[in-house]
Amino acid sequence: MTSYKIYPSIGVARVGNAPAKFYVGPEVYRGLPTLPDGAPFTERDFRDDEGRLCRQAARFRVFREGPNGSEEVTLDTPGIASITWTAHIANKKASWYTFVTNEGENGYAPNHPLRNATEPDRNKLMIDAGPRSIAGALQSGVHFDATSAPPNYQGVNFPQGPLNPTGESISSLGELRTDDAGRLLVLGGFGISGTAAPDPKINEYANNDGWWDDTSDGPVFAVIRLTDGTEIRAAASWVLVGPPSYAPQIANLVSLWDTIFDAGVRNGKVPAIFEQGLWKSGPSGYKPNFQSEIQPLLERATLYPWVAAIPPKPHTFNFEQLGTVPKSPATDEYKGLRSWILDVLRPPSSENVIVSDKGRTMMPFLAGDNCLILDTLTSKYLRLTDTQFFFMQQWAAGWFRNEVATSDQAAALTRGVLENCVGGAFSPGIEMGWISRNTAIYQDDDPLRINARLVVDGPLSAGFDPRQMEPGDVCRYMAVPWQADFNECSSQPMDGRVIWWWPAQRPEFVYLEPPAPRAVTTAEAPPPPDLRSGQQVAWVGTDFDQLRNDFISFADDVDMVRYWQGLGFVMEKTVHGKLRFVEVARTLPRPFFPPAK
Amino acid sequence: MTSEVRSPDPIRNLRSPRPFGALFDRLSGSKQAPGHKSRTTEDQRSDLRNAAQLALQVEFSTIPVYLSGLYSISDTGSKAYQILRSVVMEEMFHVNQVANLVVALGGLPRFTREFAPTYPGYLPHANENTTPLLGLYRASIDVFSNVYAAIETPAPWDAPAQGDHYDTIAQLYESLTQAIEAFPGNPFQADPPEFRQRTDIYLGKFGGTVIKVHDKHSALAGIDQIVRQGEGKVPADKPLVPREPFGAYNQYGMRTDGTYGPILGTPEELSHFMKFREVSLDQANFPPTLPITSNPRLDDFSNPAALGLAKLFNQHYSVMLRAFERTFVRGDFDPFFGIVLNLMHEVLPSMAATLMTTPAHDNGNSEVGPNAAPTWSWDDSADVHTLARGLQQALDKTPVDSPRAAHLARAMRGLAKLVIPASGHAL
């Protein structure tokens, strides 16, 4: 039987304030974005000609799955008459419960407060323009705004009037386009956040009543009409619209793919790894592939020092030694080295341990889901997912493979997109929060595909049904406005240490590209140390005093609402003949102190 | 090279051992060189090799001293523990770097038999009046101040090079440096046929980068790192790690803003001396320690369980030393990751914890003490193939509810991870 499915099963668009120019989000692990016209992506392409930050489009494709694997279907494929895409994105942040770390993941308590609790009409707290459809090649201009809403659609709602502090209005959540082969491009909002309050204040990292932002999420459907007139509904995907990705080539130790995959594994969807409650460990169990399941994890640790103050030496690994598959246990000369690495990884059930009883600092040195509520400190520190840890355990014991990984191209698309997103810590997160771990929201036969409900006439539901996920049902677990969490979740003082949040998504410290070397004359003052030595500098804010309220962040979250689009990107470049990750395309001056308001 | 080495005097007179005799009278660069002009280049190279081996023994001698104190601290998160641990790790770097020096001079770095240190005693060839008596002590403020900091005492800025009867370790290194500089030509060979340098075994977050020695420049750069990190002879405004344009070393420590956190770029790392002094001046926060016997001898243990465990510890320690020595022998068998690493990181610490919670005397109380402690003595009869059996026997004899049972079980688990060659490689 032939079935049609949309891939990636979860796609990611990102906000930007450039009105027209955009790029397509990376579809491979640690990839750069791509340009719609296929030209090579350069550091100039993060912004438009006026220095405005480009939006990232999520691209969706249809794959036909047959006995020989999957193949992409486009308007150019023989036998295909048309592909009609329908997407519906919404923002339900203001209508949902307040975000409190960990609370609600297993159901909300009766005393859990709502955001904007005094508003009786919860639909007035949603941003929704209804569904939109598009078909054909190179189409554009299908906007998610109030004026173009379907005439019968109930529940169209947008924030009233200009919002403070920027004076801009949220009048659209994004746009649908198609490329030259009829693939769908979903563009998100412009990064406008604000409140009607005349004196805008952000009091909290996650919940701010009266505030809006123009991120969103929702399902993506497609109907394929064959030349013989047959119409086929493809399996639906989901689009997430999140904050910009400022360091696209640097991945999180726990990516969103790892988290969703782990949820599926623990739900019994990957019996080769975990079946009937038992992990397939030992010599006859699951043998992780070093190239695709071990080395990337080690690599991510190697890359963190480019975006956080983390010593490179202990994060540098000899992959030749570590990838050597032992011929027999008696000749496994690197077993001790692998065990040594496993021993420094924070194991499950040790989420609050920073120094082991052997005195080693446990890794990762990153904040966990819940390090904010002092009297219920659980999961203070991040750890690998169960599945990642299981892979590391099998590897350390010597039960692993080392071979070129092969993967279905459609499945690889989902993995490639989600590996560039944050899979923890969820406090609340960047693209998707702990709802990503709730296996009830995924389809029974596809643990990476969300149960999508097409809402034809509206209005949207204010409730939660994991079998019928609606537009806005994913982003509502995130901070409102996103800039508040994004600004504050840089460093976290904890137990006398300063722990990092999501350096790969929200850089803490960056390296600058040094100016071209020139002849030094004695009369000339030496260049500042950061340019001379390539020393790390704060990506935002200051770095000389950890107690200052603008330590690697803005002192006031409202300034992130104003200036997020001026921050720099971290990109791999050749500097003095070597590959480095340096900051590019920053439009804010450095140092930058926001002017008094 | 072994011709000049004498076994330590069986009667302990607690003088600094002088295994290399009059070596420093002959070393090139020495002011007392006249009369030795007839020595060949190969003789001079042999002298250099012996001087490097001496430096190796000096570095290695400090490690059991520090580890005895480290294992006696029960709070692994305490500042005293963490600082002492960081110094021990960096001493391992020093050992590795000096071992490379020995290899580059055509020798095998020696750790076994008569090259293993004995306690209590002095650093070899040291001035007993200015260097501390090295003992195996329970950690305390006074031990940090009077032993650990004393070992790492900086040399005065203009202190002369000293060979025999050196006042500080830095001055010994100065004489080694001068001898290297005075050598006619390049005495170093990066890849001698029999032995190999190692740059892949110094793991973890601690300071220093192991350098492969191939000429005078790389040899001196290695020594420079050791001296700066250890005793801190260089002026404080010079960085420990050379400034590197990217990916520079981030040290976590006390920042100039008064908080603990990352020190961006390539910071000045505190010398070992300053680290120890910092702990010893912070009396109020010194962590609790286990009531162990200081300077233990096997004869002290009237509790047969303690005696058995102490001997077992020495067997594991001796196998570790033998395997570590073997790590520098060229060939297809490298016991470092398969044997040495797990013994160092898992088995020996767990066995030390077992000993330190075992009363030294029959019917003693481990909360009160005195408890046993490792004697760090060489056991020539130790054999890698019999370690597990001995440990299992000890485990069988240990009451399951005793504090030491869990430590011993952990040592057993660590031992199970060892990759032990079937035969042909005696360890």
pLDDT tens per residue across span A350-388 = 888 888 988 899 999 999 888 776 566 578 899 999 999
Say yes or no to pLDDT of A523 above 70.
Answer: no
Task: Quote the pLDDT of residue B228.
Answer: 81
Q: What is the maximum alpha-carbon separation in chain A?
A: 81
Q: How far is A544 from chain B (nearest CA, A)?
A: 7
Q: Tell which wins on pLDDT, A71 or B229.
A: A71
Confidence of residue B155 (pLDDT cuts 50, 70, 90): confident
Q: Percent of chain A scored above 70 by pLDDT?
A: 95
Q: How confident is the model at residue B137 (pLDDT cuts 50, 70, 90)?
A: very high
* Cross-chain residue pair B247–A309, CB shorter than 8 Å: no
pLDDT at A144: 98
Q: Write the burial class of residue B231 (CB in 10 Å: 0-12 exposed, 13-18 middle, 19+ buried).
A: buried
pLDDT reading at A215 higher than 70:
yes
pLDDT grade for A7, boundaries at 50, 70 and 90: very high
pLDDT at A519: 54
For residue A482 the two structure tokens come to: 């996103």
Q: How far apart are CA A29 and CA A41, in angstroms?
A: 16
How far apart are the C-alpha atoms of A314 and A360, rounded to whole Å? Answer: 12
**Residue among B76, B203, B417 whose CB faces A355 most closely:** B76
Q: How confident is the model at residue B4 (pLDDT cuts 50, 70, 90)?
A: very low
Give the 3-state secondary structure of residue A371.
coil
What long-range pairs does B154-162 form, CB within 8 A, spacing at least 24? Answer: B154/B231, B154/B232, B154/B233, B154/B271, B154/B273, B155/B231, B155/B233, B157/B233, B157/B235, B161/B29
pLDDT at residue A527 in the model: 47
pLDDT, tens digit, 9 for 90 and up, residues A265-317:
999 999 999 999 999 999 999 999 999 999 999 999 999 989 998 888 889 89
Residue B231 has pLDDT above 70, yes or no: no
pLDDT digits (tens, 9 = 90+) for B363-419: 999 999 899 999 999 999 999 999 999 999 999 999 888 878 999 999 999 999 999
Q: Are B251 and B99 spatial neighbours (Cβ–Cβ below 8 Å)? A: no
Q: Which structure tokens are listed for A329?
A: 């246990």
CB-CB under 8 Å, A336 with B337: yes
The Cα B284–Cα B302 span in angstroms is 35
Query: End-to-end alpha-carbon separation of chain B, Å?
Result: 22
Give chain A's mean pLDDT. 93
Interchain pair A312, B247: CB under 8 A: yes
Give CA torsion, residues A251, A257, A260, A265, to 10 deg: -110
ipTM for this model: 0.83
Q: Is the minimum CB–CB distance between B184 and chain A shorter than 8 Å?
A: no
- Residue pair B404/B308 in contact (Cβ under 8 Å)? The answer is no
Separation of alpha carbons A221 and A456, rounded Å: 12
Confidence of residue A529 (pLDDT cuts 50, 70, 90): very low
pLDDT confidence band for A239 (50 / 70 / 90): very high
Please, is B295 exposed, middle or buried when counting C-beta atoms within 10 Å of its C-beta (0-12, 13-18, 19+)? middle
Strand segments, DSSP code E, in A312-357 are none
Is A321 within 8 Å of B342 when comparing Cβ atoms?
Answer: no
% of chain B exceeding 70 in pLDDT: 88
**Are A498 and B419 a contacting pair at CB < 8 A?**
no
**More confident of the two residues A312 and B2:** A312
Token output for A87: 């997407």
CA–CA dist A127, A135 (Å, integer): 25
**For residue A487, is pLDDT > 70?**
yes
* Closest chain B residue to A581, measured at CA: B246
Helices B216-230 and B169-182 pack at an angle, to 10 degrees, of 170
Pairing of strands A193-195, A216-226: unpaired
Q: For B202, which residue in chain A has the nearest alpha carbon?
A: A314
What percent of chain B lies above the pLDDT cut of 90? 66
Is B267 in CB contact (< 8 Å) with chain A?
no
Q: What is the pLDDT of residues B339-373, one digit of tens each?
A: 999 999 999 999 999 999 999 999 999 999 899 99
Question: What is d(CA A429, CA A486) in angstroms, rounded to the nearest whole number?
Answer: 9
Residue A199 binned pLDDT confidence (cut-offs 50, 70, 90): very high
Min Cα separation A367/chain B (Å): 15
CA pair distance A312, A428, nearest whole angstrom = 28
> Is A334 in Cβ contact with B338 (below 8 Å)?
yes
Chain B from 320 to 359: CB within 8 A of any A CB: 333-342, 345-346, 349
Q: Residue B244: its pLDDT value, please?
A: 54
Among candidate residues A449, A418, A405, A451, the one with its CA nearest the CA of residue A65 = A449
Contact A544 B257 (CB under 8 A): yes
Q: Which of A492, A513, A530, A535 best tests the B interface by mutation, with the highest count of B CBs <10 A?
A: A535
In this prediction, residue B235 carries a pLDDT of 55
For residue B241, pLDDT beyond 60: no
Query: Which residues in A lie closer than 8 A to residue B200 (C-beta atoms)?
Result: 318, 321
Contact B419 A333 (CB under 8 A): yes
User: Averaging pLDDT over each range in A511-520, B127-136, B202-211, B254-263, which range is the top one?
Assistant: B127-136
**Rounded Cα–Cα distance for residues A410 and A68 (Å):** 13
> For residues A302 and A409, what is the distance between their CA atoms, to the nearest angstrom?
27
Question: Where residue B206 falls among pLDDT bands split at 50, 70, 90?
Answer: confident
Q: Supply B207's token pair.
A: 């300071």
3-state secondary structure of A226: strand
Percent of chain A with pLDDT over 90: 80
Across the range B46-73, mean pLDDT stands at 96
Higher pLDDT, A376 or A46: A46
**B250/A355 touch (CB, cutoff 8 Å), yes or no:** no
- Report the interhelical angle of B79-104 vs B216-230 (nearest 10°): 160
- The helix (H) or strand (E) run that includes residue B49 is helix B41-72
Bridge partners, residue A71, by sequence:
A64
Q: Which of residues 378-417 of B touch A (CB under 8 A)?
A: 417
The whole-number average pLDDT for the span A232-244 is 98
The predicted structure's pLDDT at residue B1:
39
Closest among A260, A257, A212, A217 to A238, alpha carbons compared: A217
Which of A318-332, A575-589, B181-195 is the least confident region? A575-589
**Torsion angle defined by CA atoms of residues B295, B300, B301 and B302, in that order, rounded to the nearest 10 degrees:** -160
Query: For testing the chain A interface, which of B71, B340, B419, B425 should be mutated: the one with the most A CBs within 10 Å?
Result: B419
Going by C-alpha positions, the residue among A217, A141, A235 that lies closest to residue A430 is A217
Nearest CA in chain B to A551: B257
Distance of residue A524 Cα from the nearest chain B Cα, in angstroms: 21
Distance from CA of A154 to the nearest CA of B (A): 54
CA angle B237, B243, B245 (to 5 degrees): 150
Q: Where are the beta strands (DSSP E) in A159-215?
A: 172-178, 184-187, 193-195, 211-213
